[in-house]
């Protein structure tokens, strides 16, 4: 499908495709906006069935990064990269070294960092080929793995939304979908304040660990939506809030780390019609990019990150209060705010 006619194309400034026969690298980088500064967003390393799905993902994710960075008050635009995981054996270092060369060829319009499937080791490999990378665990301004800060932001937003609904999280049931670095840490934080957990993941070891460490109830991936829970926290991949899942939900609050949770914008209205308070994903999950932003600017400090996280809480509260006052959906309000900040 042609890029300009692609349903996920949203006035992106540039879209880059990269291929290297020797390493098997197939990758896309999408720069959605540089209105507020150089675009920034993580690289996703995933097994895509075909390149059209990878292109759709990078277009949607990069737009989300523009909104996320703008709503977090960062001097960054929105960009994203996806690398299609090669089938069979491959040399990971060689793959991401070549990817680093491609990132460098963009000339600084895009900074990359960790996302799904990536590690700080991968960032170090990319760093050998380009300076346009963050999420490193070494150097004067290194911020390290951003996932704990993302989880902290998600935890804060769950607490805020619960307070708006008069829900005491001590004893409340939280259904967490996805037990990666972020989702698992969200579980740990919730367990620490007495929440009951229902969890799922395709990683059986992570599920077993959550059951043992947190006393979590474990369910199959397709059973998580229908659980009797107070809060549903999607922390895996996107488009999980769709016509097939929304009807199953019992939770009254949705707040999680996954990007692009709404399969289409109309799902925001469907959630509101069910009386579910939806916390827009790109507001809730901004902790990681906040952490990375300080590294990109070269002045990383925990105090600055804390101030920005408090700003995320204030922004979410503003969105929730305005939605309550006007009857409009939270995602519509957030989108309008974000687009105004990036000049669209």
What pLDDT, on a 0 to 100 scale, did the predictor assign at position 138? 74
Q: Are residues 203 and 337 in the same domain?
A: yes
Q: Are residues 164 and 254 in the same domain?
A: yes
What pLDDT, on a 0 to 100 scale, did the predictor assign at position 292? 87
What pLDDT, on a 0 to 100 scale, did the predictor assign at position 301? 87
What does residue 57 show for φ and ψ, rounded to 5 degrees? -65, -45
- pLDDT surpasses 80 at 14: yes
Taken as a whole, the chain contains a residue count of: 344
The CATH number of whichever domain residue 19 belongs to comes to 3.40.50.10860
CB 253 within 8 A of CB 162: yes
SS (H, E, C) the chain: CCCCCCCCCCCCCEEEEEEECCCCEEEEEEEEECCCCCEECCEEEECCCCHHHHHHHHHHHHHHHHHHHHHCCCCCEEEEEEEECCCCCCCHHHHHHHHHHHHHHCCCCEEECECCCCCHHHHHHHHCCCCCECCCCCCCCCCCCCHHHHHHHHHHHHHHHHHHCCCCCCCCEEEEECCCHHHHHHHHHHHHCCCEEEEECCCHHHHHHHHHHHCCEECCHHHCCCCCCCEEEECCCCCCECHHHHCCCCCCEECCCCCCCECCCHHHHHHHHCCCEECCHHHHCCHHHHHHHHHHHCCCCHHHHHHHHHHHHHHHHHHHHHHHHHCCCHHHHHHHHHHHHCCC
Quickly tell me which residue has 């170090």 as its tokens.
Answer: 124
- pLDDT surpasses 90 at 296: no
Choice among 14-23, 157-166, 233-242, 289-298 with the minimum mean pLDDT: 289-298
pLDDT tens sequence across 155-203: 999 999 999 999 999 999 999 999 999 999 999 999 999 999 999 999 9
Mean of the pLDDT values across residues 311-332? 98
The CATH number of whichever domain residue 229 belongs to comes to 3.40.50.720
CB 118 within 8 A of CB 45: yes
Look up the pTM and report it.
Answer: 0.91
CB 316 within 8 A of CB 288: no
What pLDDT, on a 0 to 100 scale, did the predictor assign at position 41? 95
- Quick check: is 308 in a domain? no
pLDDT, the chain, mean: 95
- Please state, in angstroms and rounded to a whole number, the distance separating the CA atoms of residues 137 and 141: 9
- Quick check: is 271 in a domain? yes
Kindly name the residue from 22, 26, 68, 80 that is annotated as catalytic: 80
Domain count, the chain: 2
What pLDDT, on a 0 to 100 scale, did the predictor assign at position 238? 86
Among candidates 126, 143, 130, 144, which has minimal Cα distance to 38?
Answer: 130
- pLDDT surpasses 80 at 306: yes
What pLDDT, on a 0 to 100 scale, did the predictor assign at position 139? 67
- pLDDT surpasses 90 at 248: yes
What pLDDT, on a 0 to 100 scale, did the predictor assign at position 195? 98
Mean of the pLDDT values across residues 82-110? 97
- pLDDT surpasses 70 at 1: no
Choice among 83-97, 144-158, 260-274 with the minimum mean pLDDT: 144-158
What pLDDT, on a 0 to 100 scale, did the predictor assign at position 214? 98
Q: Are residues 57 and 172 in the same domain?
A: no
Q: Are residues 105 and 159 in the same domain?
A: no
What pLDDT, on a 0 to 100 scale, did the predictor assign at position 141? 57
Q: Are residues 334 and 201 in the same domain?
A: yes
What pLDDT, on a 0 to 100 scale, did the predictor assign at position 118? 92
What pLDDT, on a 0 to 100 scale, did the predictor assign at position 142? 67
Active site residue 80: yes
Distance of CA 260 to the CA centre of its chain: 8
- pLDDT surpasses 70 at 31: yes
The band of 140, judged by pLDDT with boundaries at 50, 70 and 90, is low
Domain end, chosen from 127, 155, 174, is at 127
Domain carrying residue 72:
14-127
Torsion of CA 113, 319, 239, 234, to 10 degrees: 70
Q: Are residues 258 and 220 in the same domain?
A: yes
């Amino acid at each position: 499908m042609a890029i300009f006619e692609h349903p996920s194309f949203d006035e992106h400034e540039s879209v880059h495709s990269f291929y290297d026969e020797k390493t098997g690298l197939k990758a896309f980088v999408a720069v959605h906006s540089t209105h507020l500064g150089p675009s920034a967003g993580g690289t996703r390393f995933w097994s895509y069935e075909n390149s059209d799905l990878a292109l759709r993902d990078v277009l949607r994710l990069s737009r989300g990064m523009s909104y996320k960075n703008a709503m977090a008050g960062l001097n960054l635009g929105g960009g994203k990269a996806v690398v299609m995981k090669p089938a069979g054996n491959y040399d990971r270092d060689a793959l991401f070294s070549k990817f680093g060369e491609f990132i460098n060829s963009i000339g600084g319009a895009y900074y990359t960092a960790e996302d799904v499937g990536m590690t700080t080791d991968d960032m170090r490999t990319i760093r050998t080929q380009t300076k346009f990378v963050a999420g490193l665990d070494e150097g004067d301004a290194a911020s390290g793995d951003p996932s704990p800060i993302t989880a902290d932001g998600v935890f804060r937003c769950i607490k805020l939304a619960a307070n708006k609904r008069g829900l005491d999280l001590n004893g409340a049931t939280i259904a967490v979908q996805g037990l990666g670095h972020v989702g698992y840490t969200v579980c740990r934080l919730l367990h620490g304040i007495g929440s009951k957990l229902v969890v799922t993941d395709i990683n059986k070891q992570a599920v077993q660990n959550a059951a043992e460490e947190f006393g979590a109830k474990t369910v199959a991936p397709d059973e998580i939506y229908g659980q009797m829970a107070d809060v549903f926290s999607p922390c895996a991949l996107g488009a999980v809030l769709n016509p097939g899942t929304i009807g199953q939900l019992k939770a009254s609050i949705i707040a999680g780390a996954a990007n692009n949770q709404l399969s289409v914008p109309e799902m925001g209205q469907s959630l509101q019609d069910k009386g579910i308070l939806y916390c827009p994903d790109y507001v809730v999950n901004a902790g990681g990019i906040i952490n990375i932003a300080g590294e990109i600017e070269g002045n990383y400090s925990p105090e600055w990150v804390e101030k920005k996280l408090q700003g995320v809480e204030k922004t979410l509260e503003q969105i929730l209060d305005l939605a309550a006052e006007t009857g409009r959906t939270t995602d519509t309000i957030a989108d309008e705010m974000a687009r105004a900040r990036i000049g669209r």
